[in-house]
Chains A and B, each alone.
Chain A
Amino acid sequence: AQSVTQLGSHVSVSEGALVLLRCNYSSSVPPYLFWYVQYPNQGLQLLLKYTTGATLVKGINGFEAEFKKSETSFHLTKPSAHMSDAAEYFCAVSDRSSYKLIFGSGTRLLVRP
């Protein structure tokens, strides 16, 4: 069975600092991996995805993630945090039959002025 673990339910950074949100997955087949962002009382918005090909994936709003098979990781980074980045971030792995998403428990990013 597939699963996702997000280390750190809360991450706090200063504005302008590096953002690093951790995600490790478990999958018996090559995974499709996703990062979604959720603002309060809203649905989820796709930040970026990895399916095949280049392991460094760039997404919206300056975010990127690197797929590391040997570490079963897909960590999300952004060089310089902005106040508007404060939100909940979810890592997900996709089942390859139904393509349903299996989510981690989320990481709340706080950005300090």
Chain B
Amino acid sequence: DTGVSQNPRHKITKRGQNVTFRCDPISEHNRLYWYRQTLGQGPEFLTYFQNEAQLEKSRLLSDRFSAERPKGSFSTLEIQRTEQGDSAMYLCASSLPPSGVSYEQYFGPGTRLTVT
């Protein structure tokens, strides 16, 4: 078990460009969450998947953002036409199905996006 991995760890892009981030969850985890964390703030929920189905999207997820989880394994988060306000740390987390003993989300190291 290597934990949740995210790539790239850092991304610098120019305003208006598209970027894509990848998250590989812990292998047996069927839930996958994306969060965004801006400087000095706690993470904010963006969206989550159960297997390949995207079950909830935050109003923070504008139409420039899209997330996928094909085949219920890894997930990608794409931002189109990036804006300076998109600069943040994007965190991915995964978990087992919620049960009587487990509600824990395990976080990856994050992808830090800087839009210039």
Binding site for B on A (CB under 8 A): 4, 9, 32, 36, 41-46, 49, 51, 90, 92, 94, 98-106
Contact = CB atoms under 8 A, between A and B. Distances in A.
Contact of A43 (B33, B98, B103, B109): B109
Interface in B47-101: 48, 55-56, 91, 93, 95, 98
Given A42-B109, A45-B107, A49-B104, A98 B55 contact: yes
A43 B110 contact: yes
Contacts of A45: 107
Interface of B: 4, 31, 33, 35, 40-45, 48, 55-56, 91, 93, 95, 98, 103-110, 112
B45 A102 contact: yes
A43 B4 contact: yes
Contacts of A99: 31, 95, 98, 103, 105
A36 B107 CA distance: 10
Interface of A is mostly: strand
List of 10 A-B pairs having minimum Cβ-Cβ separation, nearest first:
A103-B42, A43-B107, A44-B107, A100-B45, A43-B109, A99-B98, A98-B56, A106-B42, A90-B42, A105-B42
Residue from B95, B110, B112 having most chain A Cβ neighbours under 10 A: B110
